[in-house]
Structure 1
Amino acid sequence: MIRLISDSSTLYSIEEGKALPCDITPLCVTINGKTYREFEEIDAETFLGLIKAGYIPSSSQPSMGELVELFEKYPDDEILVISMADGLSGTYQTAEAARQHTEHPERIHVVNSQTLCGPHRYLVDLAARLIRDGRQIEEILETLQNKIATSLSFLLPQDFSYLKRGGRCTPVAAAMGGLLKLQPIMIQAEEGRRLEKFGVGRSFDAAVKSVLGKLEEHVQNARVQISVSHAFSKEQADKILAKVKDRFPNAECVMYDLSCAFITQGGPRCIAIQSIEL
């Protein structure tokens, strides 16, 4: 049997993951001197309230010990771990280290999704479906790698200080945060390890138009899922999703609320626009 494991970059809680089935290890956030497992010990609304009160958050990945314990829960099964993008998080490296601490590491397959949020969730959903269909691990791994190569992610931060403080972007890109009345656009670098400058819109709408133009160039005629994820910017996200549906009538369009870990990195009111081939 193949067991599926991932982390809450998928925007799944532990309980939601059980329905796939998939064991979800929550990312952690620290704020006001306390560390919480997102979805399980703190919700986004409470987290935002602490930010508004002036507290500065940080985030971290699940511990190696937690993963080793989870791996040992299934001693007779193959295990497939689909982690958040290496470089944007330490979850991949932690899972690899945990794998090496097991008695039979060859039965554990750790996949760097090279993405996060919407496309990461899609990869986990896809893997769960392939497992239910009885596919072998080699076929599943090949299919996942083919899909990973098609993903594209943009971030529209509304408080650039979060990305700068978290080190998720290059110094040149971080300097854009000082440009007043402009909307910076970040794109995930090809290898998925960091965010870098894509451009600057003279307005939020102009930035969205630029992103959708690049998406159109990227997906061409492929069947894709396009996700719009937001941190308390539902009105803006709704407008973007409507534009996506109009411009990509054959795409599968979805919207997600970002979790505490991504609010920590992208800042309140940030919006992610992402695509991956179906």
Structure 2
Amino acid sequence: MVKIVSDSSTLYSIQGAKNNNIDIAPLAVTINGVTYKEYEEIDTEEFIDIINEGHIPISSQPAIGEVINIYNKYPHDEIINISMADGLSGTYNSACAAKGLADNPEGIEVINSKTLCGPHRYIVDVAVKLAEMDKSKDEILKEINDLIETSQSYLIPNDFDYLVRGGRLSSLAGKIGSLIKLVPVIRLSEDRTRLEKFTTKRTFPNAIKKICEDLIKSLVDSNYKIYVAHACREDLANKAKEIILESIEGLEVEIKKLGPVFTTQGGPGCIAIQVIKKHSILG
């Protein structure tokens, strides 16, 4: 059977992934001088508590040695490593470098998922199901490469002060944004390598409605799945889900909590709206 490998952008812990026949290399965050593996050594609530003390975190890809160790667990198997989006992290390049140092590099394929979090998890879950059906590596690659092209992601930051402290927003823009309570929306770029400005609205519901308009324009319907992921703001996630279901009938919407690494990018309280076309193997 083909072995599926990924990283914790999938919102999987090592044990959670293992329960689903996946090997995960955890991403890491450094805050207040200490480095933690997300989901293994720190959870999102603890992480946000440290941020709220005034500390700014940075994130990093899995240690290359950990990825090599995962590869070397399966010296006689074919491996597909589905990495989080290249350009948003160095994870893909590290996975490729680890391949060159592994015992069986010719049996390893590293795939750029061009996404992260919810859709990344979905792609990995599909790959696992295909592997469990004894599909070949090439058959699995074709299916997931087609799926990758159907994803899109939007991010709504919730904390202007955090974005200013982290250097992601100018002090003046942060003060103006906080004063008039703007709600910015960022979208994954067309080439899936960076986050770019999508729109700015005066209220959170209007921001979600604008995202829904864009999804409808992209012909998103009941054949797609929506992930609403949050950095410890389940109330906003539930509100977003309600607006999405009112706007597009028949959608499957799943709420997930973001891990520390993505919270590093969007800040405490951020909301991510992500979409991917459903695969028949997952219903």
Give the alignment's TM-score, normalised by structure 2.
0.91
- Superposition deviation, residue 43 in structure 1: 1.2
1:34-113 equivalences under 5 Å are 34-113=34-113
Partner letter of residue 274 of structure 1?
A: Q
Q: Can you list the C-alpha shifts for 1:153-194, whole angstroms capped at 9, x where unaligned? A: 000011246567778x8x89x986554221111000012111
Residue in 1 aligned with 2:128?
128
Residue in 1 aligned with 2:227?
227
Check 1:146–1:165 CA distance in 2 against 1; reply closer, same or farther (3 A cut). Answer: farther
Partner letter of residue 53 of structure 1?
A: E
Residue in 2 aligned with 1:236?
236
- Superposition deviation, residue 220 in structure 1: 3.8
2:192 is paired with a residue whose SS is: coil
Aligned-residue Cα RMSD (Å) equals 2.0
- Superposition deviation, residue 267 in structure 1: 0.2
1:120-199 equivalences under 5 Å are 120-160=120-160, 177=174, 179-180=176-177, 181-199=181-199
Is there any run of 5+ residues in structure 2 with no aligned partner, and where?
279-283
Partner Cα distance (1:274, 1:155) in 2? 9
Is there any run of 5+ residues in structure 1 with no aligned partner, and where?
none
Check 1:237–1:69 CA distance in 2 against 1; reply closer, same or farther (3 A cut). Answer: same
Partner Cα distance (1:162, 1:188) in 2? 20
- Superposition deviation, residue 215 in structure 1: 1.1
Partner Cα distance (2:67, 2:76) in 1? 16
Q: Which moved more, 1:217-226 or 1:140-149?
A: 217-226
Partner Cα distance (2:214, 2:15) in 1? 36
Q: Can you list the C-alpha shifts for 1:91-119, whole angstroms capped at 9, x where unaligned? A: 10000011111243221010100000110
Check conservation: 2:32, 2:56, Cα contact below 8 A.
Answer: yes
Check conservation: 1:154, 1:185, Cα contact below 8 A.
Answer: yes
Check conservation: 1:226, 1:252, Cα contact below 8 A.
Answer: yes
Check 1:150–1:164 CA distance in 2 against 1; reply closer, same or farther (3 A cut). Answer: farther
2:29 is paired with a residue whose SS is: strand
Check conservation: 2:222, 2:250, Cα contact below 8 A.
Answer: no
- Superposition deviation, residue 136 in structure 1: 1.0
Partner Cα distance (2:16, 2:270) in 1? 24
2:240 is paired with a residue whose SS is: helix
Check 1:90–1:234 CA distance in 2 against 1; reply closer, same or farther (3 A cut). Answer: same
